[in-house]
Structure 1
Amino acid sequence: MRVHVALGLRIGMNADMRNDIIDLLVIGGGVNGCGIARDAAGRGLTVTLCEKDDLAQATSSASTKLFHGGLRYLEFYEFRLVREALVERETLLRAMPHISWPLRFVLPHHSGLRPRWLLRLGLFIYDHLGGRKILPATKSLNLRENAAGKPLKPMFERGFEYSDCWVEDSRLVALNARDAADRGVRVMTRTMVVGAERDGSVWRVSLRDAETGETRELRAKGVVNAGGPWVEDILSGKLRLNTPDRIRLVRGSHIVTKKLFDHDRAYIFQQSDGRIVFAIPYETDFTLIGTTDRDHTDAPGAAVCTDEEADYLRKAASEYFEKPIAAEDVVWRYSGVRPLYDDGAKSATAATRDYVLRVEATGEGAPALNVFGGKITTYRRLAEAALEKLRPHFPQMGPGWTAGVPLPGGDFPVDGVARLADDLRKAHPFVDARFALRLVRAYGVDAAKILGDALKFEDLGRHFGWNLTEAEVRWLMEREWARRADDVLWRRSKMGLRLTKREAAALDDWMREAGPAIVAAAE
C-alpha cells in the first residue's frame, strides 16, 4: 500500500476517493503541511495531502537550513519561541541524524556594534533556556590563535563559539511526507485545490491534476490550510472564509559561493543595520551566505535573490573576511518567501517568527484550520498544536506521538554517520568515501537499500553525472514523489550545483520518458 500511496495523483484519484469521506484534507506540501499530515495519521485519522507543485517547492526549500533557537530573537523578547525552538533542536536531531547534525557557530566581536558583555549574556541565556543536553556549550575564542580567526580580518581578535544544528530542509519535507504515506496518508503532488465549500459537517473540495487537467471531488470532515505564502489566497479564494488574520510576506535571499574557508564551523556576522548574516560550510565545496529580510510585494512564486540583495550579502560577509567576496565567486543564489504572521511590526526584521493557528468553524459545521507563520525548527511542535486545536472536532484521535520517533532512514545514533558510511564502503568497495557520505547524509540506513546488491558502479544503472545514478533516481521517483530533474537536483538533493546544464536536461528527458513505466512497475 505504501508504494501505491507514494505514487501520487493518478493512483490516488480513484472511485474510493470520490465516494469516501476522509477525516482531514491538508493543503500544502511544505514542512508544516507534511508535518501535520504525518502527526494526524499517527493519531488514527484518515488523511489526504495535496500540493499544487512539488514537495518543498517554495519556502521549505529556501531556508538557511538550520535548526536553531534564533539568537537574535532574544532582542525582540521572543523568549517562548526561542525556548521552544531550543528544546526542539535536540528532539529533532535524535529523530533525523542523517539529515541534521550539530554545527558550531563563531561569533566575532565587532567593537563598533553590540558590546562583548551583551553577547556573553545573550549566549548564556541561549545555552540555558532550552535544556541543552547533547550540544556543547558556548566558549570564548582568541581569534588570533584559533583556526576560525584565520580567514577573518586582523581587527577581529575575540569572539565566541556556540552550538546550533544544520538540517537539509527540503529532505526534511520529503521524509515527513514519506513517513506520512507509510502511515496511510494519500499524498498527491502537482494537485491544486480549485474550490471548496462546506456542506454541513463536511467540506466538498474540487482538486485538479496539474498535468492532465483532470478534476475530481474529495469530501473531508476538516481542512488544514498550510499553504505557506499562499495561505491567504487559499483562505479567501478557495475556502471562501473571512478572517481578520493576515500574513506578512518577507523575502529571505541567499548566495552560495566557492568555498571560503577550510574548517567545519560556521560564522554569524553582526551588521550595522541590526541584522545578522550567516556564512556556513555547504555541500563540501561551497559556502552558504544569508539571509536578507525584505518585505515581498510580488506574487509568492516570483521570489528571486536580486542583484541588490546578492551585493548586500557579499559586502556583509566581506566586512569580516580578509579576502573580499567578488561577484564571480557566487555560483548560485536563491530566495524564498516567509509567510510571517502580520503582528504590525515596523520592519520585516522585527516581525514575529512565531506561529498562529486559527480554527474557523460554526456550530456543527466542518472546521478549517489556517496556519500562519512558523519556522522550520518548530514545525513538529506546530503540528502537535494544530492537532490539539482540532481535537474538539476529532475526539477519537490519539495523543501526540512524534517526539523522538525517527524519520525514514534515521533509526541510528546521532554519532553514527561515519560508521554507516564505513559499512556502506565495506559492502560496496566501488563506493568512494565522498559518495558514501553523501548517500548516508541523504538516506541514512536506507542508503544500503538504494545500492542493493550492486558489485560495481555500473550495476547502479545509468550515470547522470557526478555520482548520481539511475538507482538513486528510481528510489526518489518511487518513494519521494520526484517527477522532474529539478525535483531531484534542487530539492531531494543539491546535485544541481554539480551537474552541467546538458546533464540536467538529459536527466529530465530520462525521467519524463521512464516515469510512466516506473509507476506501472511499482503498481
Structure 2
Amino acid sequence: MPSPSQTKIAAPASGSVVEQTPQPTEHVVDLFIIGGGVNGCGIARDAAGRGYSVTLAEMNDLASATSSKSTKLFHGGLRYLEYFEFSLVREALHEREVLLKAMPHIAWPMRFVLPYNSKMRFETDTPASKLLSTIMPWTKGRRPAWMIRLGLFIYDAMGGRTILPGAKSVDLDRDPAGVPLKDEFKTAFEYSDCWVEDSRLVALNARDASARGARIMTRCKVNRADREDGHWVVETENTENGERRTFHARMLVNAGGPWAADVIARSSRANDEHSVRLVRGSHLVVPKLFDHDKAYFLQGEDGRIIFVIPYETDFTLIGTTDQEHADPEEKPETSTKERDYLLSFVNRYFEKSLEAEDVVWDYSGVRPLFDDGASSATAATRDYVLKLDRNGAPLLNIFGGKITTYRRLSEGALSHIDEALGRKTRSWTAGAALPGGDFGVDETEALVKRLKADHPFLTDRWARRLTKAYGTEASALLGAAKTVSDLGRDFGANLTEAEVKWLMDREFARTAEDVVWRRSKLGLRLDAKEIAALDRFMASRGDSLANAAE
C-alpha cells in the first residue's frame, strides 16, 4: 500500500509555527537547529531543558525522512561486535534501559531468536571472521555455535541489564519460535533488545522541547545561513505559502541528516573535510508470519543479517537492506531487487514461501552515516561524530548516529554547545520521561485496564493502541467521553476526531500522511477514500484555526 501524497495546506494548524508577517526579528536566540529528525529534536529538548533559547526548523514534517524509516529498534547492534565496534555497542546497550524507562508506552522489550544451522556458510569479511579464519582455518565461511554464544555473552555482559533477561539456547522442536521455521533448523539462540515507535519518539521529543520553551517550526526550509557580526543570520521559507523570515542566533546546529552536507555548503565560509555516506535501507511489511511475540535475527549466506519482527498486531516487518544512495534529493524507494532480496532471505528460513504479491507495504529510508572510508555500506560505522566549527559564530555539525544513541548524542552536542557559548549546564534527560511515559515498564497492562474501565466503549485493541501511543495521556485525549460518538467523527480504524485534533494541537501534525504514516501506522488499515477524507478535514480545520488567529 503506497504512502499517500502530501496535501498542501495554505495555513498552519495549531501546534506548527509559521509567522504571518515577513518582517525580520532582531531577537537573537542561543541556538538555531536545522533538522526535525530524532537528533535535531533530541538536541532541542535537551538544550531547552538546560535554559537555552532554541529555534528549530524542519523543511517537511517531523521525522519525515530517516527517523521514520528505521527498523524501529533500540538495540546495541549485535553484528557490530564482528566489526569490533565495542564502544558503540557498549553505549547503545547501556542506553536501551535508560530509554525504556523514559518511554514505556512507545518502547518495550522484545526477544530475538537467532536460528542456527552448522552447515550454513557465510561470505563474510568482517574483522572478526578474518581473525577467526586466520587462527582456525577450518572455520572459514562459518559462524561456529561457540562464537555466537561468546558474542551473546559479551552482549549481555556489556549491557548493564537490570530489566531485560539474558541470552539462552532454544530447542526449536519444542519452542513456539520453531513452528514457522523449516525443519532443518533445530536449535537457536535467544537474546533481548527493544522495540521503539521511531517517529512518535521524534514527535514527543519535539513536543517536550516546545513545552520547555523551544520554538518548533515545521514546513520551514532554511535557504541561507551566514555569519554576520559574531552571530548567525538565518533565512527561512515556509514551504506551503512561500513566506520568508530572518532569524538571528548565537550558534547554528546542523542536524540535517541526509542533507547535512548540503547545509554545510549553504552556510557561507562553513567548510568541513568530513562527509556523510548515504546508505538506503528498505523494509517490507507482509501479513503476519507467526503467532508469537518474538522477533527473528536471520543470518544470510552473503554475510548480512536481517530482522523479521511482529508488527502492528496483524503484520510482520522484514528488513533491512544496505545500499549506497547517491543523492539526498532522490526519494528513497524499495527497488525490485531489494524486495526480491528480502523475500529470498526470509524464504531461506521460513516454511511459508513469500511472493511479491504478499507485500502489503514497503518503505525505504536513507541513513546518513559518517563516511569512515569503509569498503561497503554494511561495514560503514553507525557511530556518530560531532564537529565544532569555531571560525566565527560557532557551528556544530552532526554526522551519523543511530536512533538508540540519540539521547547520548544530544548530551555530547550540549557539551560542545556549552563550550562554544561559554556556559556550564547539567545533563538531565537520563531520568526524565517523555510525555505520557510516566509509568513503570511493567505497568502497561494495568494502564490498559484502567483506560477501559474509565471508558467502557473501548475495545481491547483500541485501548491497547491508545495506551501504546499516548501512555498516561490517553485518558486526557479521551477526556470525559462516555460513548464513541462523544469523540466526534470516526475516520476509520477507530481514528476519531478527538485524536486527530490532539495530534494537530500537540504533536505538529498537519496532513493525513503525518497522522497515518508517522504519528501512527493506521495507513495499513485505512483505504484511500478514508485517508482523503481525513486530509480534507485536517486542511479545513487548519484553515479555520489560522483565520481565527488573524
What is the TM-score normalised by the length of structure 2? 0.92
Letter in 1 for 2:216: V
Q: 2:282 matched to 1:253?
A: yes
Aligned to 2:60: 53
Residue segments in structure 2 that go unaligned for 5+ positions in a row: 1-11, 122-142
The match for 1:101 among 105, 108, 114 is 108
Output the CA distance in 2 between the equivalents of 1:402 and 1:14: 36
> Which piece of structure 1 moves more, 203-212 or 239-248?
239-248
Aligned to 1:491: 518
SS at match of 2:431: coil
SS at match of 1:418: helix
Output the CA distance in 1 between the equivalents of 2:51 and 2:198: 27
Aligned to 1:130: 159
Matches within 5 A, 1:167-186: 167-186=196-215
Letter in 1 for 2:243: E
Output the CA distance in 1 between the equivalents of 2:414 and 2:528: 44
Q: 2:71 matched to 1:42?
A: no
Letter in 2 for 1:103: M
Aligned to 2:74: 67
Output the CA distance in 1 between the equivalents of 2:111 and 2:181: 17
Q: Which runs of 4+ in 1 moved over 3 A?
A: 11-15, 298-301, 518-523
Structure 1 residues 89, 382: CA separation in 2 closer, same or farther (over 3 Å shift)?
same
Structure 1 residues 279, 239: CA separation in 2 closer, same or farther (over 3 Å shift)?
farther
Matches within 5 A, 1:228-247: 228-247=257-276
TM-fit CA distance, 1:14: 8.2
The match for 1:343 among 361, 364, 372 is 372
Q: What is the aligned-residue RMSD (CA, Å)? A: 1.6
TM-fit CA distance, 1:393: 2.1
Aligned to 1:412: 439
TM-fit CA distance, 1:7: 2.3
Letter in 2 for 1:185: A
User: Is the Cα contact below 8 Å between 2:14 and 2:542 reproduced in 1?
Assistant: no
State the identity %: 59
Aligned to 1:430: 457
The match for 2:189 among 157, 160, 163 is 160
Aligned to 2:134: none
TM-fit CA distance, 1:13: 6.9
Q: 2:327 matched to 1:319?
A: no
Structure with the greater relative contact order (CA < 8 A, sep ≥ 6): 1 or 2? 2
Q: 2:169 matched to 1:140?
A: yes
Letter in 1 for 2:321: T
Q: 2:428 matched to 1:401?
A: yes
Aligned to 1:457: 484
Aligned to 1:443: 470
> Which piece of structure 1 moves more, 237-246 or 377-386?
237-246
Output the CA distance in 1 between the equivalents of 2:267 and 2:58: 14
Aligned to 2:90: 83
Matches within 5 A, 1:202-351: 202-351=231-380
Letter in 2 for 1:368: L
Output the CA distance in 1 between the equivalents of 2:268 and 2:105: 38
SS at match of 1:468: coil
Residue segments in structure 1 that go unaligned for 5+ positions in a row: none
> Which piece of structure 1 moves more, 513-522 or 472-481?
513-522
SS at match of 1:334: strand
Encode CA deviations 1:139-177: one digit per residue, 9 max, x unaligned.
100001111000000000011110000000000000000
User: Is the Cα contact below 8 Å between 2:152 and 2:167 reproduced in 1?
Assistant: yes
Letter in 1 for 2:400: G
TM-fit CA distance, 1:395: 2.7
Aligned to 2:8: none
Output the CA distance in 1 between the equivalents of 2:453 and 2:518: 29
Aligned to 1:26: 33
Structure 1 residues 14, 455: CA separation in 2 closer, same or farther (over 3 Å shift)?
farther
Structure 1 residues 473, 92: CA separation in 2 closer, same or farther (over 3 Å shift)?
same
Output the CA distance in 1 between the equivalents of 2:98 and 2:371: 29
Output the CA distance in 2 between the equivalents of 1:288 and 1:300: 26
User: Is the Cα contact below 8 Å between 1:44 and 1:397 reproduced in 2?
Assistant: no
User: Is the Cα contact below 8 Å between 2:117 and 2:186 reproduced in 1?
Assistant: no
Structure 1 residues 231, 319: CA separation in 2 closer, same or farther (over 3 Å shift)?
same
Letter in 1 for 2:144: P
TM-fit CA distance, 1:394: 2.2
TM-fit CA distance, 1:521: 6.5
SS at match of 1:413: coil
Structure 1 residues 446, 201: CA separation in 2 closer, same or farther (over 3 Å shift)?
same
Output the CA distance in 1 between the equivalents of 2:19 and 2:502: 18
TM-fit CA distance, 1:405: 0.5
User: Is the Cα contact below 8 Å between 1:98 and 1:410 reproduced in 2?
Assistant: yes
Output the CA distance in 1 between the equivalents of 2:484 and 2:271: 57
User: Is the Cα contact below 8 Å between 1:257 and 1:332 reproduced in 2?
Assistant: yes
User: Is the Cα contact below 8 Å between 1:26 and 1:48 reproduced in 2?
Assistant: yes
User: Is the Cα contact below 8 Å between 2:13 and 2:504 reproduced in 1?
Assistant: no
Output the CA distance in 2 between the equivalents of 1:165 and 1:413: 15
SS at match of 2:80: helix
User: Is the Cα contact below 8 Å between 2:390 and 2:420 reproduced in 1?
Assistant: no
Output the CA distance in 2 between the equivalents of 1:243 and 1:29: 22
Output the CA distance in 1 between the equivalents of 2:533 and 2:32: 36
SS at match of 2:360: strand
Q: How many corresponding residue pairs?
A: 517
Encode CA deviations 1:251-291: one digit per residue, 9 max, x unaligned.
00000000100000000000011110100000000000000
Aligned to 1:357: 386
